[in-house]
Structure 1
C-alpha cells in the first residue's frame, strides 16, 4: 500500500487510516513530502510527488508485490500519473510524469483531477479505481472526480454527502471545519474499512 498525502505532504495527518491498513496485513509505505501550495507550485515541485512515490517503492516495497496507491488531493493526482494518466500544465502542454507498472489499483480521496481534462489524458488508465468526492468540496469539486469515469477503467465513484475537501483527514489543517451534519469519525472508520477491502480484493 503506497500512500500519497495531500498538499501538506504529511502522512501523520492520516495515521489512524495507515495503522488500520497495516494491522490488516498491508505493507504501508507513506513517504513525507515538503508542503505544496498547489495553485502556485512549479512543475518541478509538483513532479517531486510522483517521483518520490516511485523512489519510496523502489526502496521499501516487497519484491513482486502488487501495489495499491491511496492518494488524497494532490496525492491522488500523483497516483493517477503513476497509473498512466497524462496531466496538462498551465502552459497547455502535457507533463512528462513517471509511470509505475507495479500499480494494480488506485484509491483516490478528493483527487486533484482537473489536470486531466484534456482529450485523451486518461486513455491509458485501465486499472480499477475507487474514487471518493466530497459533496461540499470547493478545492477539488465533485465534477473533477466525475470526469475520471471517462477513463477506460472500472471506476467506483462515491460522492460523500456533506463532506468537504479535508473530511478525509484524521487531523485536518487548522481553521478548517466540517459541516455540522457530517459525522467525520464514523465516516473515517467506514473509509478505512472500504479502502482495505478494495485494496485486497482478488
Structure 2
C-alpha cells in the first residue's frame, strides 16, 4: 500500500483492495516482485515477512551471496493495510500455510504431511499428500537453489491452493560482474610489460614542433 500518500493502492496490492484511489476495490492484478527479479536475471531471490523468526537466516544468506541480492519482505502497515498478510503470516496454523525452503531438503509443509511435487504432464507444481513420512514415494521435490525454472514456479504458486513459498528461492553461483572483469583484465595483461609511452604512441600520432 502507498502509506505515505494516505493509503492508496499500489502495483502489488491485492485484487479488491479498497483505498482512496480505488473506493470500490482494486481490479488490477498485483505485480509479483520476485517474478520481476527472476525475469530481470537476478542471481539471488528470496522471500520472507517482517516478524518471521526465519527472516534473519534469509538476510544472512543474502549477505553471504557474492553480488547483488533481492529479498521480497512482506511488511504489515498497521495504519492502512493492517493484518493483510495474516492469511499466511499468522502464527496459528502457519505450518499449513507456509513452505519454508531449505536447499537440499524436500519441499514439505503441514508438519511433513504434505509436499510439493512436479506434475510432469501439466509441467507445473502440485500439492501431494505424504503418507508415513515417505516423501520420496509421493514425488516431493528436493529444493535446489540453482534451479531457475522451479524458482519461477514457486513464485507463481497461487496462495490458498498452495502454501506461500518463503526462504531462498534462487541463488546462482555464477561469478559477479566485477570479478569477471578483473579476471578478464588479468588474462589479457598476462605476460605483457606495462609501457604507457608505447600505448600513447600507438596508432596515428603527430609531432608538433
Fold agreement, TM-score > 0.5: no
Query: Which is greater in Rg?
Result: 2
Which category describes the TM-score, using the shorter chain as reference length?
under 0.3
